[in-house]
Amino acid sequence: MVRANKTAMWVLAGALQAATAWAGCELPVEPAALPDPAKATDAEMVTAQQTIKTYLGGMESRLKCLEAAKETDKYNDSVVQMQKVATKFNTVVRAFRARQAG
């Protein structure tokens, strides 16, 4: 009986630890809009870059948390989301640079 109670206590402690780990895995707010590369100023592009860096930093923290919580599906989904945001931003940067060069 005592052994069963100890086992239940350890299972409960593990579940609470996993719940606590997951609670810290906040999803940062994805940048709402990127500047129009056909009209953007240097300052707007720098601001967008800073916003993207902040977002990706938040996502890196989320990935570490999800890895610790062993939330593989959420981890993979977060990586895909990061890649989409980075790809969008890189497309804007390329178009902006092409406009500046041409």
Residue pLDDT, tens place only, 14-70: 544 444 444 569 999 999 899 999 999 999 999 999 999 999 999 999 999 999 999
Q: How far apart are CA 17 and CA 23, in angstroms?
A: 10
Quick check: 56 and 1 in contact, CB under 8 A? no
Q: Would you say residue 83 has pLDDT above 60?
A: yes
Give the pLDDT band (50/70/90) at residue 2.
Answer: low
Quote the pLDDT of residue 37. 96
Mean pLDDT, residues 62-88: 97
Quick check: 63 and 26 in contact, CB under 8 A? no
Q: Residue 28 has which token pair?
A: 């940062």
Quote the pLDDT of residue 22. 43
